[in-house]
Amino acid sequence: MLPHSSTDVSGTLYIVATPIGNLDDLSKRAKETLEKASYIAAEDTRHTKKLLNFFNVEARLFSLHDHNEKDRAQYIAKLLDDGEDVALVSDAGTPLISDPGYHVVSHLRDLGYKVSPIPGPSAIITALCASGLPTDKFFFQGFLPAKSKSRKDVMQTWKQQTGTTIFYESTHRINDSIADLMAVFEDDVELVLARELTKTFETFLKGKPSYILQRFEEDSNQMRGEFVVMVDYRPQEDESDNDQEARRILEILLTELPVKQASQLAAKITGLKKNFLYQIALDMKP
Ligand code: SAM
């Protein structure tokens, strides 16, 4: 297809976020856009029809899912050429975020069509902002592989990352995924499981993998619903590395200073505890 340069008469493709549970989270602008668009491309037309009925929006729907995206991209381009506006929605949350639409958007943007986001809920941001885990840097993994071996291989790669790692999980696999986290990280991670966000049974469960698995055993309701899992991996500093560095510094200081001053100064240099260094210094003093 030749590059297209959008004109005033071309329509716009709107990427419209819809609620992830609580229907009051549909924004005014999202509703207006759905009302105004000539067509709505939906992941599951029956699902979206219910949402539209609830808001008394007339449904002019066609389906857009992983298996027909390529054809739909051509079809939507044709509608936009005809001056029609099209809204793209998924079953819940922000389209394209672990949902269909990527091929359509990248294709139409490459061709110069107008693509405009109507922002709103997404489970990942909703979960992260209330998790209490670091938010300055995070990595989104989407859904993990279905097989445990591949899942654990992916988890291993997270050891090289800093910041919070986030993935989506379903009720069917939540127990297995946490067990895999336990196998890979032992209890060297802090987890937050955000469940049923914006819904009646919204829950945030925080703890190490062993604690989460124990909660699942005690109360199987904790495994029900939709999950965002957030992983905060902060490897413990190797004590023996600390010891070695402390000994090296104390060795130098003790040639000039008594034990008390040497350990005070070593604490300032290394950031380690004064008492800890004092004990080492005492052992080292001939
Ligand atoms: N596009 C959506 C978004 O913006 O968040 C995500 C769609 S993805 C197919 C569905 C997954 O998102 C669920 O399996 C779950 O992991 C997560 N999710 C969606 N709604 C959720 C909710 N209310 N509470 C917790 N997780 C949710």
Digit-coded pLDDT (tens) for 146-183: 999 999 999 999 998 889 999 999 999 999 999 999 99
What is residue 239's predicted lDDT score, i.e. its pLDDT? 57
229 lines ligand 1 (CB under 6 A): no
pLDDT digits (tens, 9 = 90+) for 33-86: 999 999 999 999 999 999 999 999 997 999 999 999 999 999 999 999 999 999
Q: Work out which ligand 1 atom sits closest to the CA atom of 124.
A: 5
Mean of the per-residue pLDDT values for the chain? 93
Residue 135: is its pLDDT beyond 60?
yes
What is residue 274's predicted lDDT score, i.e. its pLDDT? 85
227 lines ligand 1 (CB under 6 A): yes
Asked if 228 and 144 touch (Cβ cutoff 8 Å), the reply is: no
85 lines ligand 1 (CB under 6 A): no
What is residue 4's predicted lDDT score, i.e. its pLDDT? 63
Residue 7: is its pLDDT beyond 80?
no
Q: Work out which ligand 1 atom sits closest to the CA atom of 196.
A: 24
Domain-wise residue ranges, the chain: 12-121, 124-233, 239-284
User: How many angstroms separate the alpha carbon of residue 206 from the centre of ligand 1?
Assistant: 19
The pTM of this model reads: 0.83
Tokens found for residue 102: 């990527």
User: Above pLDDT 90, what percent of the chain?
Assistant: 82
Question: 12-121 and 124-233: same fold?
Answer: no
Distance CA 66, CA 108 (A): 16
Distance CA 276, CA 36 (A): 69
3-state SS track over the chain: CCCCCCCCCCCEEEEECECCCCHHHCCHHHHHHHHHCCEEEECCHHHHHHHHHHCCCCCCEEECCCCCHHHHHHHHHHHHHCCCCEEEECCCECCCCCCCCHHHHHHHHHCCCEEEEECCCCHHHHHHHCCCCCCCCEEEEEECCCCHHHHHHHHHHHHHCCCEEEEEECCCCHHHHHHHHHHHHCCCEEEEEEECCCCCCCEEEEECHHHHHHHHHHCHHHHCCCEEEEEEECCCCCHHHHHHHHHHHHHHHHCCCCHHHHHHHHHHHHCCCHHHHHHHHHHHCC
21 lines ligand 1 (CB under 6 A): yes
Mark 2-34 as b/e (b = at least 16 C-beta within 10 Å): eeeebeeebbbbbbbbbbbbeeebbbeebbebb
Q: How many CB atoms lie within 10 A of CB 170?
A: 11
User: How many angstroms separate the alpha carbon of residue 265 from the centre of ligand 1?
Assistant: 52
245 lines ligand 1 (CB under 6 A): no
Distance CA 92, CA 99 (A): 9
User: How many angstroms separate the alpha carbon of residue 123 from the centre of ligand 1?
Assistant: 5
Residue 235: is its pLDDT beyond 80?
no
Starting at the earlier edge strand, list the strands of the sheet with 114-118: 61-63, 39-42, 86-89, 12-16, 114-118
What is residue 272's predicted lDDT score, i.e. its pLDDT? 83
Of residues 234 and 260, more confidently modeled:
260
92 lines ligand 1 (CB under 6 A): yes
What is residue 281's predicted lDDT score, i.e. its pLDDT? 87
94 lines ligand 1 (CB under 6 A): yes
User: How many angstroms separate the alpha carbon of residue 92 from the centre of ligand 1?
Assistant: 7
Fold classification of 124-233 (topology level):
3.30.950
User: How many angstroms separate the alpha carbon of residue 228 from the centre of ligand 1?
Assistant: 7
Which of the listed CATH numbers 3.40.630.30, 3.40.1010.10, 3.40.50.150, 2.40.160.60 matches domain 12-121? 3.40.1010.10
Confidence of residue 1 (pLDDT cuts 50, 70, 90): very low
User: How many angstroms separate the alpha carbon of residue 9 from the centre of ligand 1?
Assistant: 36
What is residue 5's predicted lDDT score, i.e. its pLDDT? 58
What is residue 236's predicted lDDT score, i.e. its pLDDT? 62
Q: Work out which ligand 1 atom sits closest to the CA atom of 199.
A: 23
Asked if 212 and 178 touch (Cβ cutoff 8 Å), the reply is: yes
Q: Work out which ligand 1 atom sits closest to the CA atom of 17.
A: 4
Mean pLDDT of 239-251: 81
User: Above pLDDT 70, what percent of the chain?
Assistant: 95
Among the residue ranges 43-57, 242-256, 272-286, the one predicted with the least confidence is 272-286
CA dihedral 118, 139, 129, 102 (to 10 degrees): 20
